[in-house]
Amino acid sequence: MCGIIGAVGRGDATLDTLLAGLSNLEYRGYDSAGLAVSGEELSVAKRSGELEVLEDALEGQSLSGNAGIGHTRWSTHGAPTDANAHPHTDCTDSVAVVHNGIIENYQSLRDELAAAGHEFKSETDTEVVPHLIESLLADGASPGTAFRQAVDRVEGSYAIAAVFAGSDTVFAARNDSPLVLGVGDDATYLGSDVPAFLEFTDRVVYLEDGEVAELSPAGWTVTTLAGDPVEKEIRTVDWESEDTGKSGYDHYMLKEIHEQPRALRQCLQERVNELAGTVDLGDAVNETLRGVDDVQLVACGTSYHAALYAAELFRSQGVRAQAFVASEYVTSPAPHGENTLVIGITQSGETADTLSALRDAQRRGVETLAVTNVVGSTAARECDGVLYIRSGPEIGVAATKTFSAQVVAANLVAAVMANGDTSHEFVSALRDLPGQVQTVLEETNAEAVADRFVDADAYFFIGRGYDYPVAMEGALKMKEITYKHAEGFPAGELKHGPLALVTGNTPVFAVVTGETGSEKTVGNVKEVEARNAPVVAVTDGRTDVERYADEVLEVPETDPRLAPVLANVQLQLVSYHVAKQLGRSIDKPRNLAKSVTVE
């Protein structure tokens, strides 16, 4: 969702630093961009559209100042226009503010401020903040005090940053929306995500809800809203700035698809002992998982499909397990017993719906575990335990390598719940999985399949058991980046309605791996074939589904629990090549954002 960048101490390089940060945040999804630099006066520039539109508007301009903030906006209140873009200023152009999240009481604040004579130029909820600050400054408050008092009146989710004319200080605060400081040798940075400033520093400080940061040339401080000092730990992020580049690939998504072998090796590293046939996730996580009788998984989007897979896996091992769309779990939480564990699966660790579900569980006294990719994220800090999937930065909006790592992580969790013991054969299969993914990447015919079906009216994806979540994920990838209609469902449901939509121009992707239930899926494929719909079989060759398929996407034979990872890679590649041929914005699909931080 929306992105924030801030910098203090960069001198003449402030403008370039902010533009670099905005470029680094483009992956989050946005429809306008802007920035403000504070010198003797405030210099503000903002435009709807891509970042290059803002850069063109700044061509030839020199915005001087030692402090600045920038923003990429994903519209909520008001259309994507120049006026609605951030930063927003007060009536006197003395303060500029950027904001992620939603201010729930903005209308009452706006009415109050308008009655006092303040004039508003946008439709946004954010604009009330600079006007609140302006009114407090007029009453004699200092910039820092005015910022704190204004934030204290705001209700809702927010990450807010502000700069003032004549000041080289940036003030920032958060509540239910991520914000992190970057600590450099001669400068301090602010971001909604680490990649915003990773090229400048890898030393970070994570803000918690209710905390206020003050960045100045002298350094940085963190306090409560009341002004009480807060001790913060500086952490080092184990990412290289090169990790967030394309490394010669046409798109981040393609790069991240090809990074899956490395991501899986990192997920497995030092956790699996092939000689002993054991899995060890560390004392803290091991203790959280042992003795669990009932698992409730909460997640959204791609992570929800990983949760569906995990629930199927846990049930196969005798553990009661259910997967919930996180937003629905909050509405109607499932009953829990003494040995219930709620697992939140979230790539970013900042997904608003998932955080709400986890917090609801904690309020009811249920233990929680975060399965996430981002060290120091809100989910990682707030849950009772955390298991990192170690995929490295994922920039493309459409998740790829993180889904594969989440599936592998689910298998590690299942092994620990079984007291860490598993078969040597399964541990060997885990060890071989990254190499098998590499084989798929090298030998795939996904591009040819995409060529054949790029003009299809719609796409259907079916599977059973472990293959069902992969069918769901394949459909999601197709619709996310191609903008074409796609549906995924259990293969057995095909004849309970969806078959009415099947035509000669609606290819059906049948995920058929392992042996359990596969013959029944082959039967569903025959139903499709009888209605002249083309069939693409994604298979490990354990059935004769190839006989009834128009195209085959092969995957190496492995343990049935791991075959879905390989099948999913093939479907990722098909979606990618269809989207590329259609000329879609693959890394930044329309209307979508990488990290959804509002409910």
Q: Which residues are known catalytic residues?
A: 2, 594
Q: Return the axis-axis angle of helices 401-417 and 301-316, rounded to nearest 10°.
A: 30
DSSP 8-state secondary structure symbol assigned to residue 333: P
Strands (E), 427-580: 459-463, 486-490, 508-512, 535-539, 551-554
Half-sphere exposure of 284 (CA within 13 A, CB side): 11
Task: Confirm if 196 and 4 have CB atoms less than 8 A apart.
Answer: yes
**Positive or negative torsion for Cα 88, 90, 95, 100:** negative
- In angstroms, the CA 184 to CA 230 distance is 20
297 Cα distance to chain centroid: 17
List b or e across 463-473, with b for residues whose CB sees 16 or more CB atoms inside 10 angstroms: bbbbbbbbbbb
Q: For residues 482 and 582, is the Cβ–Cβ distance under 8 A?
A: yes
| Closest alpha carbon to 212 in 150, 270, 164 | 150
Q: What is the DSSP string of 577-596?
A: HHHHHTT--SSS-TT--SS-
Q: Which residues share a beta bridge with 159? A: 100, 174
- Residue 195 CA to residue 588 CA, distance in Å, equals 16
Dig out the tokens for 11 from the structure.
């001198």
Phi, psi of 4 (to 5 degrees): -125, 140
- Cα separation, 373 vs 299, in Å, equals 14
Provide the β-strand partners of residue 4. 71
What is the β-pairing status of strands 367-372 and 340-346? parallel
- What six digits make up the tokens of 524? 């569903």
Q: Rounded CA gap, 525 and 543, in Å?
A: 12
Q: Are 395 and 253 in contact (CB under 8 A)?
A: no
DSSP 84: T
What SS3 class is residue 199?
coil
Residues 495, 532: contact at Cβ < 8 Å? Answer: no
